[in-house]
Structures are given as C-alpha cells and as structure tokens.
A and B are shown apart, each in its own frame.
Chain A
Amino acid sequence: MSELFEDAEPANTGGPQGNRPEFTVSELSGAVKRVIEGEFGLVRVRGEVGRVSRPASGHLYFDLKDDRSVIAAISWKGQAARLQVRPEEGMEVVATGRMTTFPGQSKYQLIVEDIAPAGAGALMAMLERRRAALQAEGLFDADRKRAIPYLPAVIGVVTSPSGAVIRDILHRLRDRFPRHVLIWPVAVQGEKCAAEVAAAIRGFNAIAPGGPVPRPDLLIVARGGGSLEDLWGFNEEIVVRAAAESAIPLISAVGHETDTTLIDHAADRRAPTPTAAAEMAVPVRIELLATLDGQGARLSRAVVQGMALRGQRLRDLARALPRPEALTQGAAQRYDLWTGRLGGALALAASAKRAALDRVAAPMRPRLLLDMVARRGERLAERGRALDQAQARRRERQAERLGVLSARLETGFAGLFRQMDMRLREDRIRLQDFGARLDRAPQDRLALLSQRLDTLDRMRQTLGHTETLRRGFAVVRFGDAVVTSRAQAAGAGALEIEFHDGRLAVVAGGSGGGGGAPPSPVKPSPIKPAPPKPAPPKPARSTRSGSGAGPDPEAGSQGSLF
C-alpha cells in the first residue's frame, strides 16, 4: 500500500505504543485521501438518490444511499451540465465517478462523472414525465404535422453512416425510386447522440435552396433497435424540439416497431423501421410508370373515341336529315287540294247565305208593320183613358177628405176661441181687482206711516231736553263738558249756561247768591230721545239723573251757582 504504512509496520511490531510516530491531522487526512483515491480510482455505484441540492455555484450535491449506508456525491459544475440524467430524489441510479475525501470535514465522497438511471422503471417514469411536459407545450399537436411530399427530389437522412440502417434505407429507396440522398452522419447512441442529432436536423433546415448543398424535401431520422438506454438520445428534449421545429417534413424511424421514443411524437410521420421510412418517403417508380402509361393510353383512346363518336353522330344526323323536296311536297299537295276547292266553295257559300236571307226577309212586309203600329196606338189610347178616369176619381176622394178635415178644423177652432175668450174675461176681472188693490195699498200704508211718525215726533218732543229747558231748566257747561256738580262748577272759571233760546256765558263767583227760579222737577222719560246736535248724551243724562235724584238738592246745588 502506501509508504506510510510500510514505515509504520516495524514500529508497530517492534516497540511500545509510545514509539508510534505521530501525524499531524493534515498528514493523516492526506494519507487517507491517497489511500482512498488510489483504491477507488473509478467506481460505479448503484443506489437511490437521496437529498439533492444545487446551490448557486452550479455544483450538484446529492446523497446516494441504500438501506444501510449513505455516500455523499458531488458533480462539479461543468460535469453536472453534461449528465445524461438529472438526479432526482428517490431515483434509482448507477453513478460513475472517483472516490475522494474532503479533509475539511473528515468526509469521503464520490465525484460523479456520469449518472444513468438504474432499471427500466425509473427511466420509463422519467420519460413519461418529459413526454407529458412536452405534450402540454403543444409540440406533439396534430395540427403541427406537415404532409410528406409525394415525390421528394432530395432526401436528408440523419443517422450513423456505418451500420445496417442507412443500407436498409438506401436499398429500399433504390427498389422503389432512386433518389438523391444526403446523409448527415451522427452518433446514434451515447453522450453526444442527442446534441448531434438535434444539430443535424437544424443543419438540414438551415440549408438555403439554390446553394452548393441542395436543400432536402424530406428528412428521415433513423436508428436501429436497441435498449431503452441506447435509444435515450432520441428522448432528449433538444432532439424533440429540433424535430418539432423542423420546417422540412420529417419521418422518424428510431428503434424497432415496439420502441417509441419522444422524437416519434414530434415527427410528422413515424415509421416503425428504417425500411418503412424509405417506403413512406417515395412512391414505387415502376407503378408510377405503369400508371402514367395507362393515363397516356386512356388519353389517346379518349381523343380517338371522341373523334369517332363525333363522326358517327355526324353521319347519323346526316342520314336522318330529309331531302328539301320531301319537306315541301306534302304542303304543295295540300295547297293544290285546297286551292281547287276554293272557287266552288265561295259560290256555294254565297248562295247559302242568300237562301238564309230570303228566309228571314220573307215576312218583312209594310202592311204588317202598319197593323202593328195601329194595334199599339189603340192600346195606348185605352191606357190613356183609364189613366184619366183614375186621376179624376183620385181628385174627388181627396176633395172629400179635405172637406171633412176643414169642417173638423173649424169646429175645433170655434171651441178653442170660446175657451180663450172666457179665460181672457176672467183674467181681465182679476186684473181690475189687482189694480184696485194696488191703488189702495200705498195710500193706506202712507197714512199709517205718517200717523206713526206723528206719534214718534210727539214722543221725541216730550223726551228731548229742549222741552225741559223750555220748562225752566238749564244746562251748565264748562267748555264742551257738562258741569253736573257744584264742585265742578267751583273749579271752573268761565261757565256757559244753555237755555231753551240760547247760551249765556257766566263767571262762577260767590256762593251767597240765591237761586233764580226754583227748578221744576222733570218727569223721567222712558224713551231716550235722539239728542239734538249741540247736546251730547251727557246733558240728557244729567238732566235725567237730576230729576231721578230728587229735584230739591239738585236745584239747590244748581241754584248755588248763581
């Protein structure tokens, strides 16, 4: 093994533990690394993928495990991108790589260079996932499929230049219809397969028409049968996309009849085998030649027959065409017949008409007409007489009727007049009566009213204070106010005394002066007379109250004024 252990061997056997050489950690780690790397230069490990982590650095870290152990695995950035299979947790894989250690963590690990799915189940599951994803994208849609040209001039074949596949294709093409074939050589399995196949499909599509390399009318992507792993390249997304994007119609023929790869879904046609692809690509030339010859023969025959047919028809028609004389003969004969009979017919017709006229005209004599006129005249006169009589009778009846009606009318009128006269007389009497009453009424009323007026005037005179004044009473005033008490009179300076024949201004002075005429009592009046203009109601009241209270004290107080 390594030098280290060889050196250590004698020390281990020959001396005590203490004599063993000492290593630094790094020395020991380095020794372990060398041992591991030396012993496991390149290993294949089968296991289940555990935790997978893909940090931003681009390196891929994952665990490989079985039921008892775990080995850390790393795929460095560059290598990770080239991995056939992207490890996913739970996937059964076979990883190929070198063992090494990571002394920083006392860890050993597998540097993975390649990963392959272990077992068909895992691969199939992955394939199905990819298929579903691409289908969801619409890459396999039926409306993307283009028709394969009937007779392509140039066929591009993407396949391995060596091997049975290209031979099968060329062989079958040769049998059917030899064509110009362009082979784009590619690896049909292994790591480079997918990239090369995709590049070849794109390369063929990139060829411009009219360039040094003829542009194919049809592409065939072909590969013989193999294991799922062998065909894996044709399941790669890059290949599927290239096939789906191909502007040139594409036939896929990968594997045997039972193998289906994803390129088959994206291709415009899928051939079960390479030979079948060649059959789809071209028709059989011999058959076409036969068909063409057949068409040529039919063409000639059709024209010849067409001519013959027309000739025959012409002859037939010509034969059926009658001679011109034959067309007119019958007419001529009929003409002769009828013209011959024309003269006699006219004479015959004239005599027949004359006979008919005679038959009708025979009874037509003037005597007959005169008789008829006379008869009609008689009848007319008769009718006229009858009419006159009838009218006379009618007039009589009407006159009678008129007489009766006028008599009734007169009687009616007389009655009516009498009635009206009577009513008129009655009305006149009533009118006279009303008139008399009407004349009387205002006079009566006037007398009554003047009588009442006198009474009222008398009453007024009795009640008015003027009459009282006439009897010797007087009204004392101060200004406009009536003075009714001594106290008032004493307070006022200039007083005015109203007599029945006028007013006298006095000055209130000493109390000793005896009264003039003793006041005579006034009879109270039940009716309140309308006071005369100069006298407001007050004097009347004072007079009344004076008379009501008793004549003596009143007279005394009044008297004291003077």
Chain B
Amino acid sequence: MTEKAPSAKAATDKALTELSFEEAMAELEKVVTALERGEVPLEQSIALYERGAKLKAHCGEKLKAAEERVEMIRTQEGRATGTTPAEGM
C-alpha cells in the first residue's frame, strides 16, 4: 500500500500525453495489480481506477493510431531534406 500510493501519485503528476505506450502500459499494469490486491484505501482506489481508465484510453489511442505510412527520404548533400510517399510497397 505504501509502495503503490506514491507511484499512483507520481503517475498523476506526469501528463498522460507525455507517456510512451510502454510507460503507460507498465503503469496500467501496476494500477491494476494494486487494485486487485485490495490494499489501497477506498478514496485512493477510486483515484487509481480513474487513472487506470485514462491510461487504458491512452494506450488504446496509441494502438488505434497504427497507421502505415511509407516514405522515401529525399537527400541533398547527404542531408535529409524531405520525403516522398513510396508507392506500391
């Protein structure tokens, strides 16, 4: 309980949008485990649930945003200056 409480708090401090998919997944896992153990005080467990829901939504967004985009680098003197969509790949 003492171990979970600060982590939940720290996670709240970090903006969701800044979290990578992996970080968000890891935190969600922690939240779920903490809740499942039932060691979190009631008030905190509600906050944790809300956080967990947001994390899940965030991860879901990231997974939905799985869009293929293939581009060819255009170069000028060894530097990438732009991209051209690659066709037919």
A-side residues, CB < 8 A to B, are 149-151, 161, 166-167, 170, 173-174, 177-185, 199, 202-204, 206-207, 212-213, 285, 288-289, 291-292, 295-296, 298-299, 301-303, 305-306, 309-310
Contacts and interface: CB of A to CB of B under 8 A. Distances in A.
Nearest to A211: B80
Contact of A289 (B20, B35, B63): B63
Interface residues of B, number: 40
Given A170-B70, A184-B73, A302 B80 contact: no
B75 interface: yes
Interface of B: 20-22, 25, 28-29, 31-32, 35-36, 38, 40, 42, 45-46, 49, 52-53, 56, 59-60, 62-63, 66-73, 75, 78-83, 86, 89
A203 B78 CA distance: 6
Contacts of B35: 299, 302-303, 306
A178 B32 CA distance: 28
Contacts of A288: 21, 25, 59, 63
B45 A306 contact: yes
Nearest to A286: B63
A289 B63 CA distance: 7
Given A150-B21, A299-B35, A213 B82 contact: yes
A167 B78 contact: no
B21 A182 contact: no
A306 B46 CA distance: 10
B67 A178 contact: yes
Given A183-B72, A306-B42, 10 more contacts: A149-B20, A151-B21, A151-B22, A170-B89, A178-B67, A179-B69, A182-B83, A295-B25, A303-B35, A303-B45
A302 B53 CA distance: 12
B80 A299 contact: no
20 contacts: A150-B21, A170-B70, A173-B68, A179-B66, A181-B68, A182-B71, A182-B72, A183-B72, A184-B75, A185-B73, A207-B80, A213-B82, A213-B83, A285-B63, A288-B21, A298-B36, A299-B52, A302-B35, A303-B46, A306-B42
Contacts of A289: 60, 63
A478 to B, nearest CB: 148
Contacts of B40: 306
B72 A161 contact: yes
Contact of A299 (B21, B32, B70, B71): B32
B70 A203 contact: no
Contacts of B72: 161, 182-183, 185
Contact of A295 (B56, B79, B83): B56
A202 B60 CA distance: 34
Given A203-B75, A207-B80, A292 B66 contact: no
Interface centre among B31, B45, B63, B73, by most chain A C-beta atoms within 10 angstroms, is B73
Contacts of A305: 36, 38
Contact of B89 (A166, A184, A212, A310): A166
A167 B63 contact: no
Contact of A306 (B38, B52, B86): B38
Contacts of A183: 70-73, 86
Contacts of B79: 203, 206
A96 B79 CA distance: 34
A174 B60 contact: no
B67 to A, nearest CB: 6
A488 B27 CA distance: 159
A299 B83 contact: no
Contact of A309 (B22, B38, B52): B38
A541 B22 CA distance: 155
Contacts of A212: 81-82
Contacts of B66: 177-179, 285
Contacts of B31: 299
B73 A180 contact: no
B68 A299 contact: no
Nearest to A299: B52
Contacts of B69: 179-181
Nearest to B75: A203
Contact of A202 (B45, B78, B82): B78
B68 A174 contact: yes
Contacts of A206: 79-80
Contacts of B22: 149-151
